[in-house]
Structures are given as C-alpha cells and as structure tokens.
Structure 1
Amino acid sequence: MTRRITRACAVLAASLLAITATSLSAVATAQSVNTLSVRLLAFNDLHGSLLPPEGERSEIMQADGSFTPAGGAAYLAAYVSQLRSQAPNSLLYSVGDNWGASALESSMFNDEPTVELLNRMQINASAIGNHELDKGLAEFHRLESGGCSAANACTFSPSFSGTNFPLMAANMTYADGTPATLPFTVNMVDGIPFGVIAIAPSNTAQIVSPDGIADLRFGDEVEAIDRTADILDFFGVKAITVLLHRGDEPDRAGGPNDCNITAGPARDIALRASPKVDVIFTADSHQQYNCEFPDPAGNPRVVMQGASHGRIVSVADVTIDRNTRDVVRDQTSAFNQIVTHDISPDSEIQALSDRAWKTAAEVAQRPVGTLTAALTRDHIAGAESTLGNLVADGQLAAGGARGAQIALTNPGGIREDLSPGVVTYRQAHAVQPFGNSLEVLSVTGAVLKEALEQQFQYSTEGSTLERILAPSNGFTYTLDRTAPQGSRISEMRLNGQNIGPDMVYRVAVNKFLADGGDGFTALRQSTETTGAGTDLDALAALFTAGSPVSPPPTDRIRVID
C-alpha cells in the first residue's frame, strides 16, 4: 500500500510540475514570433533489436514493391541524429514495446542494454506497450527505476539505473482507480508547451500473462485520450500528440508512406479521439503507413506507424501559432524514413550493440540442429501452420515425462519463421523469445473442448477474433466456422480415439495459456500442474534430438468454412 500511495503522489507531483513549468515558460515567449516549427520523431516496437534484424523483419518494402535492408540500433540512432540536425526544435518518442519478445542480445541481459540504448538516444517519452509488462509489473518497475535483484542480477553492467525518460500510459490504473504511471508529459520548445499523451492497449490484460499484472486495469483508449487532452488544454497546453500502442493491418501491401488502412482499432480510435490532439503515432501491428484521417471536428490529422524493430523513423513536422500555442493543422507534413544501411552507424550505439553481441555470441551462434525445408507461421485454411505444429510437438515431447498426451500453443507466442539449413540458438530464440515456462495440466475432455471454443472471441471493438492454437501430433478435431460460437469444435480425437468429456487428459501449454492468457480462461480449471522446462528449451531439444527436422503435416484440424 505504501508503494502505491508513493507512486500515486509521484504521478500527481510530476504532472503538476510539468504543468507549472509549462504555464510559466510559455508566457515569457508567447509573442516573440508568429510561428514555431517543431519536428516530432517516433519509432515503435523495437523489441530489443540492437543488431540489424534477421529473417522477414530484415527488410522494408518500398513504394515500388522492392525491398531494402533496414534496421539496427546504430543505424536507427544515426538517422535520428540526422533528422534532428535538420530541425533544431525536435522531440523524440517511442510508441512502446521497447522490450519484451526481445532479440537474444537484449533478453539475455534482462533488456538492460535496450534501456541503456534508449537513454543514450535521449528520447523524450515512451508509451507503455503490452510487451513492457511481459515479465510483470515488478520487473517493469525495476527496468524503469533501476536496481539489481537476486532474480535479475545486473549482468550487462555492474549497476543499472533504469530509464531517464518517462514511461507513460494514461489508461493504466490500479484496480482501485489510482493511476499506475504518468498519463502525459509536457516538453517546452522555445517557450511553447508541447504535450504528449501515451496510451497502452485496452486489451493488455488479455494478451499479457495475467498473474504479473493482476492488480492493473487498462481503460478505454478514447476516454483516456479525451480526458487527458482536456486536462492539458485546461492548463494551456494546446499542441498535443498521442503515442497510441494500437495499430492496424493494411488492406494491401504498400510503401512506407502509403495509406492502405480502411478499418482497425487505431483508425477507429483516431476517428473518435479528441480534436485537441494534433498528431497520432501508432504501434503494435508492426506495419508501415502514413495516413490522414478526419478528427471529430472534421479536421485532417496525421496517423502513422513505422513498421517495427528499428526499421523506420516516423516524422511529423508541425507548425505552431505562437499566439494560440496550437498546431496549425493544415501545415503539418509527415513521412516515414526508412532506416537503411547506407549511412554511417552511430559509433556510440554501435559500441553498445557490439558489447552486447560479444557477450551473447557464444550462446547465440550455437547450432541446435538442422532443418530440411522452411517452417512458417502461415496458416493453412486459417488454422494450422508448419511452425506452430512443430512447436507443439516439441512441447509435447518436453512434457512427456510429466504424462503429457496433448500440447497446445498460442500463435502470438511464435514470433519468427525458420529457413532451411543450420538452426542456431539465436534463431530458435527468435521463434520463442518469451522464455515462457511450460506446464502440464490435468483437464477433462469437456474443459479441453471449452478451451478450444475460446479460440473464437469477441474483441474489445466488438468483432470476432480468432486465435487458433497449434495442436501436437496425435490430437485432431473438426473446426466448423459456420456453426454458432460456442459450438464450433467437434470430433476431438487422441490417437484416433474419441475424447471423452469426463475423461482426464494431460495437456502441455505455456504458463501464459495456463494462466488464462489470450482469453483461454477454461484452462484455469486444470488440476495437478507440473513444470516442464521452458518453451525455448523444448524447441531447441526437438531440433537437437531429431535433426534433420522436416516440416510436420498440417492435417490435425479439419476445417469447415
């Protein structure tokens, strides 16, 4: 309770301090010239990518359909420096997911290298994405405030001081409604206050391990934006941007500055959010787009996203009227800058990345096995994937000593495809970067069916959301999308034998699913839980024991559309 009261007071004090500084500074220079140019820079979904990313995330599609290599922290920092040098009044933001599902060179050191990177890049503020909370609120606070614990010793540097920038979410509170973090911050730009509001996903509690954030609540994005924009406006902060950790999927492929968005949560929020907000940077979907959508007052507003893993810097150049202290909306210009490799990397950030890689390289480069053909997350008939099935097979094998008969794994936990050839530990880690522990549970056939029915859920926007779990070898069932929700699963069989509703089965899942993550709350009804290592260890062990590995068949789910 003491910590909560202390944090609540700190949130209030910091917010009031920002507002007070804004009010005093703005008065002194409000009439100095007519307008002020400000450059807003943002990146999103870095995921601890200190080195240039590999695989499908190693490139960016350009407007002409060609691809160019992109990303890497040293190149990202170099482009940020270049873009800052072109505009003396610049602010740099992250839109969240700085860490979590991180590259091995960051996750091996509890993501402390990524925090050090962000500190050195001198970002002004960051949104809290869902992945910042992957390891729970306590570890989030450690990365924010610094310190070393027995569980998370400072293995990258002798000491760790945490972030030197605010991590924010206006819609993140404790269960009693107390703010859990700063909702906004205000930066003074040549005497003019510029406010930034940050928003976490409202569905964070469904997509992060529940036990680590049990006392947190995530409110509606639009309500939080409107409420906070009104507060800023009341205290004279008229120029406002939002760091929104929600994103959309383009309807068709396009270049970094195309706008192929016709639907999605970010667009919906942008259309409804307060017209007091001038620019919205988005995140989470790892897509590239540069759009203008009308705000509720009918004025055009920039809404953009810069892919992921440090491959793009999003830029919005705004003009502020010094008399009104507000953004002149029709003078805003925006573009997504690809972080190409034809620029000299930032030497300081390169040294940081090299130090992390040098320490991690021996583990990262260790071969775990070989693969005869590509394994992908592409779903056959919208259900199975070769990589998902292989991951499930590895988890079944890992849980065998605990009696596992079936394994199920969630698609969101599988992050990268695998190419044929030698598979290294770094590549296996890229597939399963969370380090989730595996658990073997006892469930009845009825509970198993209930869990599979939960593959179809209603999203916070009211649409139907599918999360098809990858099944292990020997377990089959029929999925009928034409049937009513709650009655879409039938003909469940284990090694050809019908699954009995009252019979008990041993099922291996990661702890995220066991705790009810992704809305699979039926699995909380399990009993006799035993540990079975980690998801990454299970995948690596499958390759070590079975190489050369070939893609498994995708004949475990019979789909009726």
Structure 2
Amino acid sequence: MKIRQIASAIALTFAFTGAAYAGQTVNVKIVAINDFHGQLESPGSFRALPTDAFGTVPVGGIDWLAGYIADIKSKNPNTVVVSAGDLIGATPLVSALFHDEGTIETMNRAGLEINAVGNHEFDEGKDELLRMQNGGCHPTDVNSCQGAAVGTPVPFEGADFQFLAANVIDKKTGETLFPSYIIKEYEGVKVAFIGMTLKETPTIVTPSGVAGLHFKDEVRTVNRLVPKLRALGAKAIVVLIHQGGVTPTTQSVATINSCDGNLDGSPVKTIVSGLSNAVDLVISGHTHQAYNCKLATKNPNHLIPVTSANSQGRVFTDIDMEVNKLNGRVKSVTAVNVAVDRGNAGITPDADIAQIVNNYKALATPIANRVIGSITADLTRSASTAGENVMGDVIADAQLAATKEAGFGGAQVAFMNPGGVRADLTFTSSTAGEGDGNVTFGEAFTVQPFGNSLVTLTLTGAQIEEVLEQQFVGCPNGQTFNRILLPSTGFSYAWSATGPACDKVDPASILINGVAVDPATSYRVTVNSFLADGGDKFTVLAQGTDRLGGAQDSDALEAYFKANSPVAPVALDRILLLP
C-alpha cells in the first residue's frame, strides 16, 4: 500500500513538474515564404520525386497559400507570417501589369505581417517601393488603382504588413529605407525579426532602381543590432535575409527538407558563420531553392536552423519556436518545409482572395491581347540533336540586342536557359483572334513568364568554356540531365556526346563572330538574373564580375519583335554535335 502511495506521489510530482514547465514556455509559430514573385495563380505542378521528368503535384496560388495559413492560425494564435524578400518584382502578367498591387492586396488578406526586401523589390525604384508600403496610385500608369474593378479599396491601400530593410541606407537621409527590425510579443515574450537583402543588390538591379541607396554588409548589420534588441527585451532573434544557397538536389516534394551539400560555398553559409550567437534562426531566399539546414554561427558549436522555401508560393516553411517565458530565450526551433498542395482535402482555399485574382485576370486579358510583332512560321522549343531550339535562340538574340550597346552592358554573347522557355509561338492565330502570324504581348509573356531581369557580366574565355561543360551530366556541378544553353547569333561551338565528363566541348570550336575565343581574354556575357546567380547549376556564371543589371527579359523580347518583325525561325547551326 505504501509503495503504491509513494509511486502515485512520484507520478503526481512528475506530472505537476511537467505541467509547470509546459506553462513556462510559449510556442511561436512562424510561417515563412520567399521569392513569391507575385505568383497569384498556381505556377503549375511540382515534381513529387527528384527523378520525375515533370511535375505531378499541383501547387501554389495565393488562395491556397492563404488557406494553409488560415488552417495553421486556427491551431495556434501565436502565429506570424513572414517573407524573405522578392515578394514582388519579376512577376507574372496578372500582377506585373498592375505594378504588383494585386500581390500586396492579396497578401494583406492572407495575413502576411513582415517582408524583408529582396533585390526585385527595387526593380521599379525606391519611390515605387515606398508606394507599395504606403499606398496611393502610380503617378503615371492608368493600370494602377483598379480597386473598384477588383473589389479592393481605392486608392491602392498599400501593405498592411511591414517591409524591413536593415542594410539599405538612403544616402540623402542616412537612415534605413524601411525599419531594420520589428519586435513581436507573444504571452510576454518578445521576438525580434531583422530583415535584409543581399549587399550585392546594386549589381543585379538596374542602376535606376537603386539610385541614392547604399547596401551594407549583412553580418555587420545584424551583429550591431543585437545589443539594441537585447536592451529592448528581445532575446529571441530571427533574421530574414534575401540571400541563399544551392543544394545539389533536384527540387521536388520529396527533397524540400534536404540539406545535401550543407550549403557549402554559398553566400548564406558565409553570412551565417559570422553572425552573433544571439541569432536563433535564419530564414533565407533568393536562390529559389527549398532546403532545411543547420549551420554554425560565429561559434562553430552553435548550430541554428537556416531555411528556404523554393519560390512562387510552391512551398512554405512551418516553424515552431519554443521560447522560455521566464528568461525570453529560445529553447528549441523546429522547421519543416511544406508543399502548397492544391489537392489537400483538409485545406480550404480563400474564395475572396481567389475572386480578387480572377478580377485582375479579367482586366489583364485585353492588355495581354495587344499585338507586339509578327512571325513567319512557328518558333518552337523542339530541340535539334545538339540540344538547340529556335525559340530559345530568338530569346537569346533579343537579350543580346538589348545589352550589346556599351551603355547597356557591351555584351558580345547571350545565353538563355532552356527551362526558362515555357511555350512556343505559333503562326496560327490564338483564340484571342489576333490573326495568323501576329504575336501578342500575352503570348510572348507566356513564353518567358518569370520576369527575370537581364544581367551582363564579364567572364574569361576559359570560364565560358567551363560554363559550356557545366551543361552536361558528369561535371561536379551535378546536372541530372544535359541542360543545353541557347546561344545568341554569332556564337557557336561543337560538343561530343561520347566525350568524357567536363571535356565534351572542343575548345577550338568556340567562336564569337567567327573568331576563336581566347581562354585568357575577358568577354561580356548576358544572361537572365536567374542564371547570373548560378541557377540551373551553372555555378561559373555566379563568378562573373563587373555586373550590370538591365531590362526585364519580357521587355527585351517585345523590343526585339517591334524592331525585327516579321521574325523568321533561325537556322539551328550555332551548336554542333560531333559524331
């Protein structure tokens, strides 16, 4: 009897202690996205497995993302929704035509609370970015302030959430463009969020977009803020940074929580390694990758979660931060990347948000049907045996034309990634009735819908050869299939399918305007901003120097059609496959 009483007393003691301990902590739920890029509608399907040839899981759409957020908030009132930059800029037609006002409006309704600026927030310049925060109509474009037609306030309401820009300084005032941080309080516990963009933003944005601004070092910015935040009572610190890394894993639902390669050699790993040990979590972006890592801060034994959630609303990161109420310190952080699966029966998409998107789409239709030029025959993505295709070549020609003048980059060659060529241009009229041979703005936008900006950079001839070798399976950059870049007119080379890995290209065959490329000579090369950052595993392009940002890729294509119509299919003779 006494033994049972003692055992019961011990059990009660443990139960009481556990309950008391549980009452000493608060669970803060953080829902994080990055690189949304105004993808109001679904971007399509996502691979289920990295070995899948194409996507099979329908994902994304702001109405579905809002549904997931609402479901999470219903289970934990201590929830905050954050973004690590590029919320706007480089957006699809349904957002871009209206200066991304629809993205801001729907994010307000989805519950976003914080957005760290990314490089693409600066695409239209400082004043336009301030308008995104503060509201009001665009000073010149009549497509702005469409609230009466779409069901939102007039004038444009601006962001209910807070933009953060800890390392972006207005040279005129000496102050940050937006606040450096925001402190949220949950059951008496203060959590600080610092927001930053990459310090290299001026190198990948058009000069007018960052005029009058200075971008400071990320590590020094955070570390100087830590004592101030501590003095304000915030001992839990989250960094939202628009800079990231790349994993050597093909993006898929099955791999979104991997950290293969541990982000070795990446900018974000370098940044994290210099951060104060007071930082508890880093939410990153920029590289359009999904990863879930643990990286060391200044103390090599202090590992913190570093996350990223792919792009365009395909994925979000579900983070649980357990904080001690007594001392305000973080007890644990657990992060899981989750696909925004449109087939999830447990989630109800937000119908009001969907209606706003549909209303914007209806407004965009007549603009999308505007004729910008013409073609003499189909421009398709059908590849030659060497991997070349007409549509990609024409895009590369357009990008070279937009950047060849000295003041716009002085480009000598342009390369287009094949994955960025999303559709053909067909000679036969579409259902819009523009007429055979005519090309509409909407059709051209569908061909390359990502809204990337052009970047002209300097590579040596040896680096150009290395870029070409990185197209093929077997090199250390880890292509899972041959990914042949589409070159602009005047550039040519030959490669062998039977050649050894990293030695498939004949160096003597690499020509620019008929002249052999010299390994030691520097050349000006134009690519889109995705490739410029090492996208599609073209890591050498990320090493390019003397970068100059340029026009949006869609604007360059439209200008090319206006100047060269009717555009005829080019001969597929720029890339030769050796026997």
Aligned: 1:38 with 2:23: no
Q: Secondary structure at the match of 2:279?
A: coil
Distance in structure 1 (CA, Å) of the matches to 2:189 and 2:237: 11
Q: For residues 473 and 235 of structure 1, do their structure 2 counterparts lie closer, same or farther at Cα, with a shift above 3 Å needed?
A: same
Distance in structure 2 (CA, Å) of the matches to 1:375 and 1:233: 59
Aligned: 1:545 with 2:566: yes
The residue that corresponds to 1:25 in the other structure is none
Aligned: 1:193 with 2:182: no
Q: Secondary structure at the match of 1:328?
A: strand
The residue that corresponds to 2:62 in the other structure is 73
1:59 to 10, 32, 46: 46
Aligned: 1:337 with 2:327: no
Distance in structure 1 (CA, Å) of the matches to 2:392 and 2:400: 12
The residue that corresponds to 2:557 in the other structure is 536
Distance in structure 2 (CA, Å) of the matches to 1:60 and 1:543: 38
2:490 to 471, 474, 481: 474
Aligned: 1:309 with 2:316: no
The residue that corresponds to 2:278 in the other structure is 276
Q: Secondary structure at the match of 1:132?
A: helix
Q: For residues 302 and 551 of structure 1, do their structure 2 counterparts lie closer, same or farther at Cα, with a shift above 3 Å needed?
A: farther
In 2, are the aligned partners of 1:257 and 1:290 still within 8 Å (CA)?
A: yes
- What is the 5 A alignment of 1:251-400? 251-253=248-250, 255-262=255-262, 263=264, 264-297=266-299, 298-329=301-332, 332-342=333-343, 343-364=347-368, 371=378, 373-374=380-381, 389-394=393-398
Distance in structure 1 (CA, Å) of the matches to 2:567 and 2:340: 39
The residue that corresponds to 1:528 in the other structure is none
Q: For residues 436 and 167 of structure 1, do their structure 2 counterparts lie closer, same or farther at Cα, with a shift above 3 Å needed?
A: same
Q: For residues 371 and 68 of structure 1, do their structure 2 counterparts lie closer, same or farther at Cα, with a shift above 3 Å needed?
A: farther
In 2, are the aligned partners of 1:413 and 1:432 still within 8 Å (CA)?
A: no
1:145 to 120, 123, 134: 134
The residue that corresponds to 1:159 in the other structure is 155
Q: Per-residue CA shift, 1:198-253, capped at 9, x if unaligned?
A: 11011101001113212211111111121122221122101111111111110223
Q: For residues 64 and 355 of structure 1, do their structure 2 counterparts lie closer, same or farther at Cα, with a shift above 3 Å needed?
A: same
In 2, are the aligned partners of 1:289 and 1:304 still within 8 Å (CA)?
A: yes
Distance in structure 1 (CA, Å) of the matches to 2:381 and 2:486: 17
Q: For residues 552 and 77 of structure 1, do their structure 2 counterparts lie closer, same or farther at Cα, with a shift above 3 Å needed?
A: farther
Q: Secondary structure at the match of 2:65?
A: helix
In 2, are the aligned partners of 1:436 and 1:535 still within 8 Å (CA)?
A: no
Q: Per-residue CA shift, 1:170-201, capped at 9, x if unaligned?
A: 11113474322211001121222111001101
In 2, are the aligned partners of 1:315 and 1:337 still within 8 Å (CA)?
A: yes
Distance in structure 2 (CA, Å) of the matches to 1:99 and 1:221: 21
Distance in structure 2 (CA, Å) of the matches to 1:419 and 1:159: 36
Once the 2 structures are TM-superposed, how far is the Cα of residue 393 of structure 1 from its aligned partner? 2.4
Which runs of 5 or more structure 2 residues have no equivalent in the other structure?
Answer: 1-20, 148-153, 427-438, 465-483, 495-506, 518-523, 530-541
Q: Per-residue CA shift, 1:245-279, capped at 9, x if unaligned?
A: 11111022361112214311122222331221111
- What is the 5 A alignment of 1:475-554? 494=513, 496=514, 534-538=555-559, 545-546=566-567, 549=569, 552-554=572-574
| 1:555 counterpart letter in structure 2 | I
Aligned: 1:219 with 2:240: no
1:428 to 437, 444, 447: 444
Once the 2 structures are TM-superposed, how far is the Cα of residue 373 of structure 1 from its aligned partner? 4.3
Once the 2 structures are TM-superposed, how far is the Cα of residue 38 of structure 1 from its aligned partner? 0.9
Once the 2 structures are TM-superposed, how far is the Cα of residue 164 of structure 1 from its aligned partner? 1.6
Q: Secondary structure at the match of 1:114?
A: helix
Q: What value does the CA root-mean-square deviation take over the aligned residues? A: 4.4
2:225 to 225, 228, 235: 228
2:575 to 521, 540, 555: 555
In 2, are the aligned partners of 1:128 and 1:168 still within 8 Å (CA)?
A: yes
Distance in structure 2 (CA, Å) of the matches to 1:258 and 1:522: 31
Q: Secondary structure at the match of 2:237?
A: strand
Is 256-265 or 302-311 further displaced after alignment? 256-265
In 2, are the aligned partners of 1:40 and 1:316 still within 8 Å (CA)?
A: yes
- Bigger Rg, which one: 2
Aligned: 1:118 with 2:107: yes
Q: For residues 388 and 278 of structure 1, do their structure 2 counterparts lie closer, same or farther at Cα, with a shift above 3 Å needed?
A: same
Distance in structure 2 (CA, Å) of the matches to 1:389 and 1:471: 6
Distance in structure 1 (CA, Å) of the matches to 2:417 and 2:399: 13
In 2, are the aligned partners of 1:282 and 1:305 still within 8 Å (CA)?
A: yes
Once the 2 structures are TM-superposed, how far is the Cα of residue 156 of structure 1 from its aligned partner? 2.4
Q: For residues 138 and 414 of structure 1, do their structure 2 counterparts lie closer, same or farther at Cα, with a shift above 3 Å needed?
A: farther
TM-score, L = length of structure 2:
0.69
Q: Per-residue CA shift, 1:137-187, capped at 9, x if unaligned?
A: 121112222222432342422411311221112111134743222110011
Once the 2 structures are TM-superposed, how far is the Cα of residue 80 of structure 1 from its aligned partner? 1.0
Aligned: 1:240 with 2:237: yes
Is 147-156 or 276-285 further displaced after alignment? 147-156
2:166 to 157, 167, 170: 170
